[in-house]
Amino acid sequence: MGVPDSWKTAEFNRQWGLKAISAEFAYARGYTGKGITIGIIDNAILSHSEFAGKLTRLDNGSYNFSYDKQDNMSFGDHGTHVAGIAAAKRDGTGMHGVAFDADIIGTKLNDYGNRNGREELIQSAARVINNSWGIAPDIRRDAKGDIIWLPNGRPDYVAFVKNEVIAEMMRSKSSVEWGSEQPVPTGGHSAMSTLLRAARHGKLIVFSAGNYNNYNIPEAQKSLPYAFPDVLNNYLIVTNLSDENQLSVSSTSCGQTASYCVSAPGSDIYSTVGRLESNTGGAVNREAYNKGELSVNPGYGNKSGTSMAAPHVTGVAAVLMQRFPYMSADQISAVIKTTATDLGVAGIDNLFGWGRVNLRDAINGPKMFITQEDIPQEYYVPGSYSEKQFVVNIPGLGNIVEPGTSVERRCTSSECDFDSWSNDISGHGGLTKTGAGTLALLGNNTYRGNTWVKQGVLAINGSVASNVYIENSGTLSGEGTVGAFRAVRGGSVAPGNGIGTLHVLHDAIFDRGSQYNVEVADNGRSDKIAARRVFLNGGSVNVSLERSQNLLSQNEAQSLLGNKYTILTTTDGVNGRFENANPSYPFVKVALDYQGNDVGLGITRTDARFDSLASTENEKAVARAVETLNATEPVTETVKRSVAAPTAEALSALQGDEGKAQAATEDAGVVTGHPVYESFLGFTSARELQQATRQLSGQIHADMASAQINESRYLRDAATERLRQAEGRRIASDIKADDNGAWAKLLGNWGHASGNDNATGYQTSTYGVLLGLDSELFDDGRLGVMTGYTRTSLDGGYQSDAHSDNYHLGLYGDKRFGALALRAGGTYTWHRIDTSRSVNYGAQSDREKAKYNARTGQLFIESGYDWSSDAVNLEPFANLAYTHYRNEEINEQGGAAALRGDKQSQSATASTLGLRADTEWQTDSVAIALRGELGWQHQYGKLERKTQLMFKRTDAAFDVNSVPVSRDGAILKAGVDVSINKNAVLSLGYGGQLSSNHQDNSVNAGLTWRF
């Protein structure tokens, strides 16, 4: 992209025609002909580096050569030069074409092989076909037979006569028509049949006017639209400019073709050429050619003529076909003609036609909707310009345009969905908008025909002087000015681009079955129609709420409820009534108020409660809490709301800033409301509310509490395993009951809680180290102390996460009664918790963070019975654990969705019944033991894990549940112990807790030594 001047590279500047047509402005907007195919009928195009990867030839493969009387040969590079002007690559070498990203299909004008390249070209993807050829008139000669030369050095051509040229064309009409109907054009007028057939296949035909001096006019072939006016809009004749404003002395004038003729640079144009050269340094003649001593080498050179002007226009057409991918060839032609820079006599004239092609203006849309009345009578082609409406189809992204033709294509660029025209459009024609997309008119448009909106959206953000009719599924929008409008059944009016005012100079009419779509905001703004008079013959008012504002970033918001809006204002009165007013929201209702010259709209709350659309307990709890955040009473301050009054002048409102609507003001009490509550008023479906309540719930806090309770088991497991080791119940231990022992264990675990209909799932991971020291203090009894640090990370739903730094302290001990052992202990953990969660629904967005402390305490007791044999140790066991979690106050930092929570606690009691087994291999230097455990865990009491929260600065509390624990689950453990020496044991282990709702896995490594 970039600024226009950045495109003026050495390549660009080498070809002066690019600047003359203002091509740099199109390039700066990204339009280079990409995706468009250009057809060229000429002599053979050389395989030049400028055409690498983009040229397809549809000829017999031979090149064109010519011979003089001395048998010297030259290469016919006319087609090569033409192709370069239109579409040579932008590769840093030589020059580049107008549409340098376009592809090229070339075929010969006269190809005597078996291949019919012209018919292939018609059936190809080419949408514009360049024709830089013609039939020259006779040259005057003196009595001696010598050519008569004019003072300017040009030959004195016999002048064509308009009536004779047209008569010649009409005499050929039947044979040309017959030839055009054949798959392969044949006959004496096959070239004209080709062009007629191509035009009727939706191609744009660009034709050089000829090089027969200014006094001359184009020959019969250029006058084909006189015989076939239906193809005039697909036909463009091009004359040659010697500089930006002067017609070349060699150029034929537009003449009788002026209504479909434009001008373009064509003198001294630098482009691609080919040179026939000797490989031996010898002569370049027929003899050398027959010996194989000649080759055609690519290069660059200058040529002049309308042959060079035409490909400028062809390239312009390709650029515009990329710019307006939805337009047909005849519409591209209209844009080229109506945006041309006027030269010579004002308006269409004999020399320049419509004027010099101008890409700077052309990329901004047409400047005229042409009808017969816009063409000077002397240049009017009978039967042409018969269409009164410029029908533009903005199809919507991905839809098909021109289906069933050789130029059928899928519209895939952004302009297929939304486009804007900024030129001022005049003319006697009108505009018809079709297709599902949006067209915005930004200019001061004075065209005289009617405007029809049949499909999609027409946004008037400038002005349109004509009457606008809206029907079918069409919508009129924008914040500009129209002369008048009438919305009939199926038609809609939606002022603004967002919220705005549509101005109507005269009458605004709504018929039965039409719709007035009004958008309102909580700050007193609303869509509005400001007209002279309004006639309401029915129609519906459909109210929508502006949803572009992020309310959650505010501490409080102005409430929609109780607001009154002026949605229609007039100077001369409102006649009739709308049929009804329909909000699309379950929680708000509207009422219309007709007072004098205005129509007002009031908004109140329906009887439906927020929780009526919620489906789960968490959703309902949040919805009920939000319900309590309703709006407060109006405060004393007032807010000014603009009320635009329509101008009294008609067309003067379309000129500059004069006559624009005057602003009035009205006062309204400001009603403040909670931003979360106000955001709920805009929900249109249960799904929207459910998504919002899940994100607002703060489930991450309940998840973290549940995770800390669940993961407390790793502390008691470590203590229990150490006691069994010290008891000698794990075969690998050489530590006797009378030894002191110290141990360390590295922990790593990861867990998953499966979500249900009420709560989203989460993943946890915990890593850290535990340390312990114990000693036998009495017979068959041991007491120890443990400490450690772990870090827990939790990833919750809806972009929420939490981290906890955990600091542990515990006591543990046992007492053995023969084969029976009793083990017990208690731990206490201090947590430092950080949470972060995102809230994103609709236009609402916020990020809430909190830091708070929590504590977890637990008590546990276990009994195990040792049942040993030589091969294996078995220990049936039963344990019981009680865990208590308590968090300090929670205070999230963020926007309106931030939550707080009081100090609160929750407890859990669980028992496990199971069997442990271990076995040992003993060598001279080391003992290796394998151990395993299988158990059944049962939870007592309530299974819910919930936290009570409330929105900040409110007292309405709600409970949010995490994933509930499962009533029953399985415990799996496996490990290996290696006795390094008589004082140290290395342990590696895996532990798993598997239930329907939670799946936890852990790995650990431990080292125990005695002293």
Distance between CA atoms of 443 and 334, rounded to whole angstroms? 17
Query: Of the residues 42, 111, 522, 801, which is catalytic?
Result: 42
Tell me the C-alpha distance between 562 and 165, whole Å: 77
962 is annotated as an active-site residue: no
Report how far residue 124's alpha carbon sits from residue 132's, in angstroms, rounded to the nearest whole number.
20
Alpha-carbon distance of 397 to 656, in angstroms, equals 34
- Comparing CA positions, the residue from 505, 527, 503 lying closest to residue 516 is 527
For 597, residues 6+ apart whose C-beta sits below 8 A from its C-beta are 569, 570, 571, 572, 573, 574
Q: Are 916 and 866 in contact (CB under 8 A)?
A: no
End-to-end CA distance of the chain: 77
995 is annotated as an active-site residue: no
Tell me whether residue 506 is one of the annotated catalytic residues: no
Q: How far apart are CA 807 and CA 732, in angstroms?
A: 30
Q: Per-residue DSSP letters for 673-709?
A: E-HHHHHHHT--SHHHHHHHHHHHS-HHHHHHHHHHH
Q: Which of 236, 121, 231 is nearest to 173 (CA)?
A: 231
């999609």: which residue's tokens? 456
Contact status, residue 224 vs residue 172, Cβ threshold 8 Å: no
Distances (CA, A) of 157 to 20, 140, 167, 421: 29, 6, 20, 44
Written as one letter, the residue type at 162 is K
464 close to 442: Cβ distance less than 8 angstroms: no
**Which of 739, 734, 763, 735 lies closest to 750 in space, CA to CA?**
763
The catalytic residue among 208, 307, 477, 962 is 307
Could you tell me which of 753, 748, 777, 774 has the C-alpha nearest to residue 763? 753
Within 13 Å and on the Cβ side, how many CA atoms surround 255?
A: 27
Establish how many alpha carbons lie within 13 A of residue 980's alpha carbon, considering only the half-sphere containing its beta carbon. 10
The CA-atom distances, in angstroms, between 542 and each of 454, 525, 531, 585 are: 19, 16, 19, 10
Length, in residues, of the chain: 1011
2 CB contacts (<8 Å, ≥6 apart)?
A: 28
In which region does residue 320 sit, left (phi positive, over 0), alpha (psi from -120 to 50) or beta (all else)?
alpha
Catalytic residue among 48, 78, 96, 674: 78
Rounded Cα distance, 905 and 831, in Å: 14
Query: Cα(139)–Cα(344) distance, rounded to whole angstroms?
Result: 28
Q: Give the side-chain half-sphere CA count within 13 A for 761.
A: 11
Distance in angstroms (rounded) separating the CA atoms of residues 529 and 644: 9
CA-to-CA dists, residue 328 to 200, 320, 406, 510, angstroms: 12, 11, 12, 33
899-901: strand order across its sheet: 890-891, 899-901, 946-951, 957-961
For residues 219 and 332, give the distance between their C-alpha atoms in angstroms, rounded to a whole number.
Answer: 25
C-alpha span between 129 and 104 (Å, rounded) = 10
Query: Is residue 576 within 8 Å of 535, Cβ to Cβ?
Result: yes
Place of tokens 């945006």: 339
- 919: helix, strand or coil: strand
Mind telling me the catalytic residues?
A: 42, 78, 307
